[in-house]
Amino acid sequence: MDSTSLFPLLVSFRLLLACIPLHLISGLQHDHQLSSPLTSYSRLKEGLWLYSHNIDPYAGGVFRHSPLFLSIFSTLLPPLPIVWALSDIVGAWALLRIWRARQRVGKGSGGRAGGLVAAAFLLNPYLFLPSLALSASTFENTAVLLTLMFASEGKPSAALLALAFSTHLCISTLLLLLPVLMLLVTSPVSQLASPQEFRGDLRTTCKYAGQFVAYWLVLLGASSLMVGDVYCEQSYRASLTLPDLTPNPGLWWYFFTEMFDHFRPFFLMVFSVHLVIYILPICIKFQHDALYASFLLVGILGIFKAYLTLADPGLFLSMFALFPEVYPYLRHPIVTTLVHIHAALLLPLFHALWVTEGRGNANFYYAASLVMGVAGGMGVVDACYAGLRIAFGDVAEGERNNWAVVQE
């Protein structure tokens, strides 16, 4: 079954899930694995109610979403499950378009592989479960994929606007700025087997960086006109200062729950800088393939993001479908998969034991979060190893030529 027939079937399935009554999935909306204080649907509803009654939604320290959600859901769209389903569909469509740009295949072509790419997104439980929980992480992932889609298709204005929108939804996606700028002045076609120095025009790259800053400042000004500048403290700075220690599958919350206040600023700086230090090494090592560098940084975010949900590692896992050339060179794919499955089983089990049954404690759930972090780390390291092995490892020249023929 090719993409032209499979994609409509997957879209129909996702729209059917959107018809599930809200009271049947109300438990998902309060699941700490699927939504965080920055993406929670219940907090979004509270913020919309306060905003509609002319009350500052950021005054109480509960609403931490971007003001863009207030403008969209109070004027353009109602916060209904169908909106999340449509966002998922747009994300799958964007992922399919990225794959076509990388493989250099036209619209309506690609065969079964194109359908599998869409299925990797729409059937990924790490993605559709947060979407069913009406988590705002669904829109964050879609914005990231739209950014990479426009950049892969050589549309700089649209890509930079989508990236500015994405950073307003989640400031952590600013980590993708450098590889997106590199992608705009290079090609999305796989260059892993033939690494070369970055040959993009530096002047053009700087112009695109200035264009991104202009878009970001326009959105910042529009948000400030809506609700004032207090939202920066409650929304954007929350990823740096971690004011809400609600449990999540990430690695931050438990560490800072046990942290003495005297050491908190230092370790907040360490955790924040730790995210940033990956950008230059990855972009330098994979300067010949900016799309692959973006993929690896998405995986880094899926491990070390401050307010993590399952949607973050889920995006990284779905993006694996874009790079079939690395599959033969993964070192431990079976072990990594088994660790992911192990973490996927432990997280809901220990969450239920602690929160629902009251028979465990926070150590149980954080132990499962550590297993999830290890699984994510194994995936990123294996993907990095495979990308380097294609270029610098024991890949015969004949295999490289065969891959070039397949690409053509």
DSSP string, 263-276: THHHHHHHHHHHHH
User: How much is the pLDDT for 1?
Assistant: 54
Phi then psi dihedrals of residue 349, to 5 deg: -65, -50
In this structure, are residues 163 and 177 in contact, taking their beta carbons and an 8 Å threshold?
yes
Mean pLDDT of 145-160: 94
The pLDDT of residue 22 is above 60: yes
Percent of the chain with pLDDT over 90: 43
Distance CA 319, CA 157 (A): 23
Half-sphere exposure at residue 81, Cβ-oriented, CA atoms within 13 angstroms: 21
The pLDDT of residue 31 is above 90: no
Distance CA 62, CA 117 (A): 37
Mean pLDDT of 125-145: 93
User: How much is the pLDDT for 227?
Assistant: 80
Residue of 234 and 1 predicted with greater confidence:
234
User: How much is the pLDDT for 310?
Assistant: 93
What's the mean pLDDT when you consider all of the chain?
A: 86
What is the residue type of 246?
Answer: T
User: How much is the pLDDT for 173?
Assistant: 93
Residue of 295 and 363 predicted with greater confidence:
295
44-48, 247-251, 345-349, 389-393 — which is least confidently predicted? 389-393
Which structural domain, as residue segments, surrounds residue 270? 3-407
For the chain, the domain total comes to 1
Using alpha carbons, select from 334, 263, 328, 274 the residue that is nearest to residue 303: 274
Residue of 122 and 405 predicted with greater confidence:
122
The pLDDT of residue 247 is above 50: yes
The pLDDT of residue 27 is above 80: no
Contacts of 210 (CB under 8 A, 6+ apart): none
The pLDDT of residue 183 is above 60: yes
Distance CA 23, CA 130 (A): 16
The Cβ of residue 388 has, within 10 Å, a number of other Cβ atoms equal to 16
DSSP 142-159: HHHHHHHHHHHTT-HHHH
User: How much is the pLDDT for 194?
Assistant: 81
Which range, 16-30, 67-81, 190-204, 287-301, has the best average confidence (pLDDT)? 287-301
pLDDT band for position 228 (50/70/90)?
A: confident
Question: For the chain, how far is it from start to end, CA to CA, in angstroms?
Answer: 23
Mean pLDDT of 311-317: 94
Residue 377 burial by Cβ neighbours in a 10 Å radius (0-12, 13-18, 19+):
middle
pLDDT band for position 397 (50/70/90)?
A: very low
Percent of the chain with pLDDT over 70: 92
Contacts of 337 (CB under 8 A, 6+ apart): none
Mean pLDDT of 27-41: 87
User: How does pLDDT run across 74-109, given as a tens digit for each residue?
Assistant: 888 888 889 999 999 999 999 999 999 998 877 655
Distance CA 215, CA 219 (A): 6
The pLDDT of residue 169 is above 70: yes
User: How much is the pLDDT for 405?
Assistant: 47
Q: Which residue has the tokens 């005297």?
A: 262
Residue of 368 and 200 predicted with greater confidence:
368
Rg (CA), the chain: 21
Half-sphere exposure at residue 359, Cβ-oriented, CA atoms within 13 angstroms: 5
The pLDDT of residue 211 is above 70: yes
Q: In the structure encoding, which two tokens stand for residue 143, read together?
A: 């914005």
